[in-house]
Amino acid sequence: MTPFTRLQSNAAPLMRDNIDTDLIIRVEPLFSGVPRQELGRYCFESLRYRADGSEDPDFVLNQAPYRDARILLAGANFGCGSSREGAVWALMAMGVRCVIAPGFGDIFYGNCFQNGLLPVRLPRAEVERLAAQVRNDPAQPLTVDLEQCMVAGPDGRPLAFEIAALRREALLEGLDAIAQTLRRSELIDAFQARDATRRPWIYRVGHPTHS
């Protein structure tokens, strides 16, 4: 997993509430054999493309200032709906590394940390203020600093956000849940050694059966 420390990028304002995982990506591409790194072309498919397959120029991510944005500004409850992890894969394949919103679907929020995408919760008024700034001057970047837990908009005003310590550590160091656990293998081994002394029967292979 690619570590996330500090990101500076232009941001795309998609200020729409309740964007669910089905809108982010339909389920069909996830079962069609498309490699994960190529799922970006299916991200927001129903919003990005017209019925004839051409791009809809009214959709923000099809517009030149925002096409390559790595930060997405969104409305409340982003990523609600089904538990599909592919929604995070599709966003990352599209180039997005950070979503800033007033709130997220719980399962989507957890999936972000397993895959290296940073979800930042900020009050709605602050997200809307950032969106207004990037609409006014799309070329001005936002800065997201995970080490400092801070977002700065084009006006330079710092906005603090909170991330659980273990999740922050995972993103900073590029570790998924298994890798985080393996980093503590010495503690795990020490616990098992103590436990085997206290409860040796737990570790016996092939317990006898009782009639």
33-72 pLDDT per residue, tens: 899 999 999 999 999 999 999 999 999 999 999 999 999 9
Residue 105: inside a domain: yes
Residue 36: inside a domain: yes
Domain that holds residue 24: 6-201
Residue 48: inside a domain: yes
pTM: 0.86
Distance of CA 50 to the CA centre of its chain: 27
pLDDT beyond 80 at 183:
no
Cβ 142 vs Cβ 152: under 8 Å: yes
Residue 120: inside a domain: yes
Residue 206: inside a domain: no
Residue 13: inside a domain: yes
Rounded CA gap, 177 and 85, in Å? 15
Cβ 123 vs Cβ 102: under 8 Å: yes
Q: Three-state DSSP class for 28? A: helix
Rounded CA gap, 100 and 87, in Å? 16
Residue 45: inside a domain: yes
Which DSSP helix (H) or strand (E) runs through 72? Answer: strand 71-74
Query: What's the whole-number mean pLDDT along residues 183-202?
Result: 82
- When divided into structural domains, the chain yields a total of 1
Which DSSP helix (H) or strand (E) runs through 111? Answer: helix 106-115
Paired tokens of 73: 């500004």
Residue 1: inside a domain: no
Is the CA virtual torsion 35, 176, 25, 135 positive or negative? negative
Query: What's the whole-number mean pLDDT along residues 162-172?
Result: 94
Paired tokens of 6: 């500090």
CATH assignment of the domain containing 23: 3.20.19.10
Rounded CA gap, 112 and 97, in Å? 9
Rounded CA gap, 176 and 114, in Å? 5
82-138 pLDDT per residue, tens: 888 999 999 999 999 999 999 999 999 999 999 999 999 999 999 999 999 999 999
Residue % of the chain over a pLDDT of 70? 93
Rounded CA gap, 94 and 24, in Å? 11
